[in-house]
Amino acid sequence: MARPHTTVLVALLALVALAAFRHARARVQRVQDARPRITNEVRAAGLRFGPSVAPQDQRLIEHDIALARPEARRLIGIVDGLVTISVGDTSAGGADAIGLTESTVDGYAVTLNLAAVWGTTGERGVQRVVLHELGHVIDHALVKPALAARLDAPIPAGYGCDPVQPDIGCAPRPERFAETFAKWATGDIGFNLPIGYKVEPPASLDDWGAQLVSGVAAA
């Protein structure tokens, strides 16, 4: 897969900044709490990409989604018509954020700092961040409170609460969901992947994912 489009200067800065992004965060901001309607038009629409997304970046994002397990792709396919993906500044999610998902009146705006992620962790990191952010969309759009509580119960709450970045270890429930969704979707539990939250997977990712799929179907 081709390297994402970016300037040479930004790419070099991202490579130099490896240590700074070792605990980079992906946060969700909820502008409004109402769940969007999942219509037939939404299901048929597919992802939208903003003008900041170069063609090779779009291909990379679509490629990494296509690598996810079929059940995860089906869930993404329910909500992706509500999603617009942009590439660029994610500082609104925190000084070291690498992904940001915001709910809007039209659906969800997902912003990815591809230059930073690619420069520090390559395609493996890009796939984790893409699926983490789409996990936020699925959580907000499809997962009702009772199901959210059942899915959260087997996920360890986090460990090693960092005094400098306490929310890295003590991840809130939406981040535990998004991290676990990304791990379930790829089968990659994140060993030696120095981004994201310190969230251990549940005892069985397969059981967790089966409960998510059946819970969404029953809603």
Domain ranges in the chain are 8-218
CB within 8 Å of 171: residues ≥ 6 apart:
157, 158, 179, 197, 198, 199
Concatenating the DSSP letter of every residue in 205-219 gives HHHHHHHHHHHHHH-
CA gap 14, 191 in Å, rounded: 21
Q: Is the pTM of this model over 0.85?
A: no
Contact in structure between 96 and 24 (CB atoms under 8 Å) = yes
Sequential pLDDT tens for the chain (219 residues): 544 443 332 332 233 233 233 334 444 544 446 778 888 888 889 999 999 999 999 999 999 999 999 999 999 999 999 999 999 887 776 656 888 999 888 899 999 999 989 988 889 999 999 999 999 999 999 999 999 999 999 988 665 555 555 545 567 889 899 999 999 999 998 888 877 777 888 999 999 999 999 999 998
